[in-house]
Amino acid sequence: MKQVTLIIQGRVQMVRFRDFTKRTADALGVCGDVQNQPDGTVLIHAWADEPLINSFIDKISSGSPLSRVDKVDQIWDNKTYEIQEDVFKIIR
């Protein structure tokens, strides 16, 4: 499995974007976590096979109904991982 760190910019806090992200990850079988950041961005760590991660990125790039995604920065880790936890968490 591959790992990517995503930094989402736009109107992504206080609009249920983290919940949207978790529901999207759960539907696709992506593991990881999502957390609001003090600078107004949302930080996502995601682990899955690369095609699933790419599908996940495509879906969250459109945003939740109330959000607006302006930019998605992607930081890929080229290592291969075995997942310890098969869940996607919202970190509060």
Catalytic (active site) residue 23: no
Catalytic (active site) residue 11: no
Residue whose entry in the numeric block shows the structure tokens 């920065």: 73
Catalytic residue selected from 16, 23, 36, 54: 36
Q: What is the separation, in whole angstroms, between the first and last Cα of the chain?
A: 26
Catalytic residue selected from 11, 18, 68, 78: 18
Query: Could you give the residue numbers annotated as active site?
Result: 18, 36
